[in-house]
């Protein structure tokens, strides 16, 4: 059952398992880029990777079936 606010129809649904796993893996990759000195991500900012992970998780919560 999705959560609804009383004054608007704003539905939050839990993300699908693959969406959640992808966002967690991207967050771990961002942590490795900062603290693990992961050299494959030399040109990509860890903040950008973490932002992408958050947006994927946000879309998974706002859109049903994702």
Residue 25 inside a domain? The answer is yes
Q: What pLDDT sits at residue 35? A: 86
Residue 8 inside a domain? The answer is no
Quick one: pLDDT band at residue 58, thresholds 50, 70, 90?
very high
Q: Say which DSSP state 39 is in.
A: G
Q: What is the pTM of this model?
A: 0.76
Domain encompassing residue 50: 17-62
Q: How far apart are CA 19 and CA 36, in angstroms?
A: 24
Residues of the chain with pLDDT > 70, as a percent, come to 80
- Count the Cβ atoms, other than its own, within 10 Å of residue 33: 21
Average pLDDT of the segment spanning 3-18: 74
Residue 5 inside a domain? The answer is no
Using one digit for the tens of pLDDT, what is the confidence trace for 22-42?
Answer: 999 999 998 888 888 777 767
Q: What total number of domains does the chain contain?
A: 1
Give SS3 for 18.
Answer: helix
Residue 36 inside a domain? The answer is yes
The pLDDT of residue 1 is above 60: no
């Amino acid at each position: 059952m999705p959560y609804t606010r009383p004054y608007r129809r704003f539905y939050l649904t839990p993300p699908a398992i693959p969406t959640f796993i992808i966002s967690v893996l991207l967050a771990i990759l961002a942590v490795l880029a900062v603290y693990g000195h992961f050299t494959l991500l030399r040109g990509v900012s860890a903040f950008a990777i973490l932002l992408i992970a958050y947006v994927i998780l946000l879309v998974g919560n706002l859109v049903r079936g994702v």
